[in-house]
Amino acid sequence: MATKKAIKRIAISTGGGDAPGLNAVIRAVALSGLKRGWEVYGIRDGFHGVLLPEQYEEGGILKLTRERVRGITHLGGTMLGTSNRNNPMRYPIELPDGSIEEVDRTDEIVRALRLHHIDALISVGGDGSLAISDVLSKKGLRVIHVPKTIDNDLDKTDATFGFDTAVGFATESIDRLHSTAASHGRVMVVEVMGRYAGWIALHAGVAGSADAILIPEIPYDIRKVARKIKDRDQMGRHYTIVVVAEGAKPTGGSAMVVEHKKGKDERLGGIGEQVAKEIRTTTEKETRVVVLGHLLRGGSPTSLDRLRALRFGAAAVRALDKGYDGVMVALAYPTVKYVPITDAMGQMKHVPVDSDTIMTARDMGITFAEAGDTEKK
């Protein structure tokens, strides 16, 4: 895990879907590196900057100076750009006959970085980028990975930055829906991102006092949602808020996919509409759907996410300074630690169905609409 070669020049890349806090990581990496007398470079759009340098007027790799990273901690997005298309491990190229072949271009990344005399790479991304970090590290590049995703589904870290901002926005949205739902006596279905994990739906649903929360970890029975709506009606509560994770699935069914692609790259969506349709049929209540989608990825990071991101960025540079290689920075309350990239890979962190947050929700009277006669205690 530890190597000794002195560092002179490092590069940072941000890959996968953007998350609030990426700019804070970039700033922390740049300032911590510059403080040590290193040169710091930022690769544009994931790894496109090194694979397709000719496409960038300023070059595919930017020198990060103090001036370049000034005033960016609070900004959403990433100043370097990112991409969750054209994974360098399965890069699509068009053959003369018009068909598409996927090729591995990771050797080219290693070569290009060596050509730029980059001693180490700090790669910021989710599980897709983590797999790329692993390959690059095995090919001899010195790599430190920084975990990122609004979905909070990365294993071996207590949390990722971006999640708190996404939950905050979703909660505020649910708060706003209460009054309009109550005024019209409607059911409001709120679909949130999160892929195959229900973290955002659970946290925002509990914080925003939803009545039902549907998450991938607990397959739902629509009749249970309908029961909840009817029970509330009988109690004189003529409106209901249902929060649905994009990866939620009915008992015996599967998640709704809008774009089929290889492996975990498939794009989820549509479950909100589906649930609303079923609610209309089973309850005859007026039902509306709000899909929060990419709004959850936008905007200024919360102070918690800024701090997490700054800590992760600085910890990544300290890791290099200490001679670490092939590790991911991870949050281990109350501090940060380093875990081998290989240990963090391949597993998704799901909501534990016996977690205290789930128990809290149940005690608050929130239903997960699971099949069976009674809600589990």
Q: Tokens at residue 183, please?
A: 């005024």
Q: Which of 17, 16, 28 is nearest to 72 (CA)?
A: 28
Least separation in angstroms between CB 290 and ligand F6P: 16
Least separation in angstroms between CB 318 and ligand F6P: 27
Contact string 256-275 vs ligand F6P (x = CB under 6 A): -----------xx-------
Q: Which is nearer to ligand F6P, 268 or 314 (CB)?
A: 268
Least separation in angstroms between CB 146 and ligand F6P: 15
137, 149, 287, 367: residue in contact with ligand F6P (rule CB under 6 A): 149
Q: How far apart are CA 324 and CA 338, in angstroms?
A: 9
DSSP state of 78: -
Rounded to the nearest 5 percent, the helix, strand and coil shares of the chain are 40, 20, 40
Q: Does 243 bind ligand F6P (CB under 6 A)?
A: no
43, 193, 255, 310: residue in contact with ligand F6P (rule CB under 6 A): 193
Q: Does 349 bind ligand F6P (CB under 6 A)?
A: no
Q: Which of 127, 134, 151, 155 is catalytic?
A: 151
Q: Are 187 and 216 in contact (CB under 8 A)?
A: no
Burial (CB count within 10 angstroms: exposed 0-12, middle 13-18, buried 19+), residue 16: buried
Q: Are 24 and 75 in contact (CB under 8 A)?
A: no
Establish whether 151 is a catalytic residue.
yes
**Cα 92 to chain centroid, rounded:** 24
Residue in the structure block whose two tokens are 């694979």: 51
Q: Which stretch binds ligand F6P (CB under 6 A): 111-119, 193-201, 234-242, 363-371?
A: 193-201
Q: How far apart are CA 289 and CA 242, in angstroms?
A: 9
Q: Does 191 bind ligand F6P (CB under 6 A)?
A: no
151, 211, 278, 325: residue in contact with ligand F6P (rule CB under 6 A): 151
Least separation in angstroms between CB 170 and ligand F6P: 12
Q: Does 297 bind ligand F6P (CB under 6 A)?
A: yes
Q: Which stretch binds ligand F6P (CB under 6 A): 144-152, 179-187, 217-225, 354-362?
A: 144-152
Q: Which is nearer to ligand F6P, 267 or 280 (CB)?
A: 267
Q: How far apart are CA 80 and CA 320, in angstroms?
A: 21
Cα–Cα distance list, 194 to 58, 172, 198, 332 (Å): 35, 17, 6, 22
Q: Which is nearer to ligand F6P, 44 or 224 (CB)?
A: 44
Q: Which is nearer to ligand F6P, 39 or 45 (CB)?
A: 45
Q: Which of 55, 64, 52 is nearest to 25 (CA)?
A: 64
Q: Are 232 and 211 in contact (CB under 8 A)?
A: yes
Residues with catalytic function: 151
Q: Give the residues lining the site for ligand F6P (CB under 6 A).
A: 17, 84, 126, 149-151, 193-195, 246, 267-268, 297
